[in-house]
Structure 1
């Protein structure tokens, strides 16, 4: 059997903002891509069309290896209205293999390969031509090691029997609804949104919609506009003044300077909505005291399994995920790497507890 084909792709480079007061529309300025035997930096400004490259990347026979894949896949979606498959996300694989949550590419290369990457040119103006040789070397390094990371991670996952489980998570990255513009529903994709109450959810809905609109208008990943943690903190505290806004944890000073008025206006409008217009969070089923004790027991097992695998327990599951599993509802613990790591075991225990006569002797 011949070896599979790999494409490590792309390190998309965008032109930075031209002024502190008004961000310009970003422009795709450089694409880095690597195969098994070469690395290329592609200049989209010099090409009449990217279609030949995209035809290659959308070939289902080619595995696309990316780091923090969702941002790149979002760009693909906006280019063609679909996401290329199959993909392998080295950041997600790194989480499952105990290398930390949201680890950066350079840090992962350092951990696994012992190579220290130069990040000097992170904020270079990639629209400038000609591109300096040291810029191109920096850009090439951003994809040069992806294939080796992929091979090592694939072997480690196979040794643990988790390859098929991760394949389910990677396939979920290609679901179009992840990238389709639905501003008024975007708040539901913010993790931990169910921790908010009443008018806080209305504020989150307004802010998440604002982020969607800006991401679409400027062709930028959502996190480049505002990350989820900052959205949640804004919704919790609902600042009314620029001074209060500046004290929001995780909100960049540049965002306060450039978008502060827009954020405060959205928050004020959402706070003025009548309660009957507030978004309703997904109903949380009630658990009995006996069931709550069972949830506590399951959370202890999850914490132990997470600690064993060097994974933050909150990345594996939270209390609501466990409650849904206990109540027979759909839960992240039933899917992908979470199911492989602990979810199937928890489900087997619940089944045995509900039918003790069928349970094996212990």
Structure 2
């Protein structure tokens, strides 16, 4: 069994950094807490290669600057599973993002796995190992960590090393080694990790059912909630839950006493923020909301729309068969509806390997630049030569 290095002094960290400089890739994972804060509290960083494994204690160490300096080297591939939260911590601490990245969750569908598979499922399927879940809910901020907790944390990157090597080999055998470059490059886009308070309302579901005044209030309160949660480092749901934003938008209290009588508003919130919230509500209902600009799917699709979706589905099935993929991995009916009705950049078919495999042609079909026809008794994608 590989000895786990527990790094909690500057001298140990400096020696580890010298080890890291020799590597071409590293498996990484983090342990953090977020139940009582807005920003994740960084508690442990695990790093492994096939030869060694280390658990680094950011709580004990005065600085991680020398570590990040070597980790961010473009000559070292950083391997994660579902890396968005890990990278959010890195970005929060350094204001930068490491690259290049390899994410096993993103790579898995190209090897026949379902979309967004869990780490335990990959370990079980590829390594025939059932992960120990005994410390899933451990308090990683307490010290000292017990030996079993350290082993539990280290196991994640030990197995991640093995999965990465297996995936690289299989991707190479299938000729898909470079398919994921754009997907992985997108993970180092700072826009993914910067929360803009003025746009926080966009993530709230049900906003399209509000009147103009109500929408303006929800937009204003959502921005206030995000700013306040950030400045106080508290979960935003502790301030106002989404359903409370809607209640306030509909009831529109004008005084603290009226606000305090709204069901679900606790006394602390009313006393501390009541006057400010009432002022925000009064101002918001007297100005026009930011337009939704949501095209949205029709409640009931027409036969023509269903037929178009069938044609798009046919193209997906052709390209999936050519690449030995389950068509659902390439695109679901919901993905195709997103492409057809919303024209949004959020559609997965407009990004990464899916865009290269099918998305570009799907867009061409919708624009009339391509046609779906029959050649030699088979469906084929044909250039529309009649298009001027």
> What is the deviation of 1:79?
0.7
Other structure's SS at 2:329 match: coil
- Alpha carbons 2:55, 2:150 under 8 Å: kept: yes
Unaligned runs of 5+ in 2: 1-21, 249-263, 372-381
Which residues in structure 2 correspond to 1:248-267 (within 5 Å)? none
Other structure's SS at 2:30 match: strand
Distance (Å, rounded) in 1 between the aligned partners of 2:332 and 2:208: 14
1:59 and 2:73 aligned: yes
1:295 and 2:308 aligned: yes
Other structure's SS at 2:55 match: strand
Give the structure 1 partner of residue 142 of structure 2.
128
Structure 2 CA distance for partners of 1:104 and 1:336, relative to 1, 3 Å:
same
- Alpha carbons 1:322, 1:331 under 8 Å: kept: no
> What is the deviation of 1:213?
4.0
Post-superposition Cα deviations, 1:62-117, rounded to whole Å, max 9, x if no partner, equal 11111211111111111111111111122222345443344322222112221111
Distance (Å, rounded) in 2 between the aligned partners of 1:163 and 1:205: 44
Distance (Å, rounded) in 1 between the aligned partners of 2:211 and 2:308: 26
Distance (Å, rounded) in 2 between the aligned partners of 1:180 and 1:293: 38
Structure 2 CA distance for partners of 1:137 and 1:332, relative to 1, 3 Å:
closer
Which residues in structure 2 correspond to 1:215-226 (within 5 Å)? 216-217=230-231
Distance (Å, rounded) in 2 between the aligned partners of 1:341 and 1:176: 26
1:31 and 2:42 aligned: no
Other structure's SS at 2:59 match: helix
Distance (Å, rounded) in 1 between the aligned partners of 2:109 and 2:219: 29
Distance (Å, rounded) in 2 between the aligned partners of 1:315 and 1:38: 45
Q: 2:369 aligns with which of 331, 346, 351?
A: 351
Distance (Å, rounded) in 2 between the aligned partners of 1:43 and 1:330: 37
Give the structure 2 partner of residue 252 of structure 1.
none
1:308 and 2:326 aligned: yes
Structure 2 CA distance for partners of 1:38 and 1:167, relative to 1, 3 Å:
same
Post-superposition Cα deviations, 1:129-168, rounded to whole Å, max 9, x if no partner, equal 3221111111101221112222333344445554434211
Other structure's SS at 1:44 match: coil
Distance (Å, rounded) in 2 between the aligned partners of 1:64 and 1:106: 20
Distance (Å, rounded) in 1 between the aligned partners of 2:361 and 2:174: 15
Post-superposition Cα deviations, 1:210-252, rounded to whole Å, max 9, x if no partner, equal 67447645769xxx867xxx96xx49x9357xxxxxxxxxxxx
Give the structure 2 partner of residue 320 of structure 1.
338
Q: 1:44 aligns with which of 33, 55, 58?
A: 58
Distance (Å, rounded) in 2 between the aligned partners of 1:120 and 1:153: 27
Other structure's SS at 1:9 match: strand
Structure 2 CA distance for partners of 1:112 and 1:40, relative to 1, 3 Å:
same
Pick the structure with greater CA Rg.
2
Which residues in structure 2 correspond to 1:1-362 (within 5 Å)? 5-14=24-33, 17=36, 27-188=41-202, 190=203, 202=216, 205=219, 209=223, 212-213=226-227, 216-217=230-231, 234=243, 238-239=246-247, 273-274=284-285, 276-282=287-293, 284=295, 292=305, 295-301=308-314, 304=317, 305=320, 308-311=326-329, 313-314=331-332, 317-323=335-341, 332-347=348-363, 349=365, 350-353=368-371, 356-357=384-385
Distance (Å, rounded) in 2 between the aligned partners of 1:110 and 1:53: 32
Structure 2 CA distance for partners of 1:312 and 1:57, relative to 1, 3 Å:
same
Other structure's SS at 1:48 match: coil
- Shifted more, 51-60 versus 123-132: the winner is 123-132
Work out which structure has the larger RCO, using CA pairs closer than 8 Å and 6 or more positions apart in sequence. Answer: 1
Distance (Å, rounded) in 2 between the aligned partners of 1:97 and 1:156: 7
> What is the deviation of 1:310?
4.5
Unaligned runs of 5+ in 1: 18-22, 241-255
- Shifted more, 8-17 versus 143-152: the winner is 8-17
**How many corresponding residue pairs?**
324
Other structure's SS at 2:113 match: coil
Post-superposition Cα deviations, 1:26-80, rounded to whole Å, max 9, x if no partner, equal 6422211112321111112222210121112111111111121111111111111
Distance (Å, rounded) in 2 between the aligned partners of 1:121 and 1:202: 44
Distance (Å, rounded) in 2 between the aligned partners of 1:239 and 1:279: 19
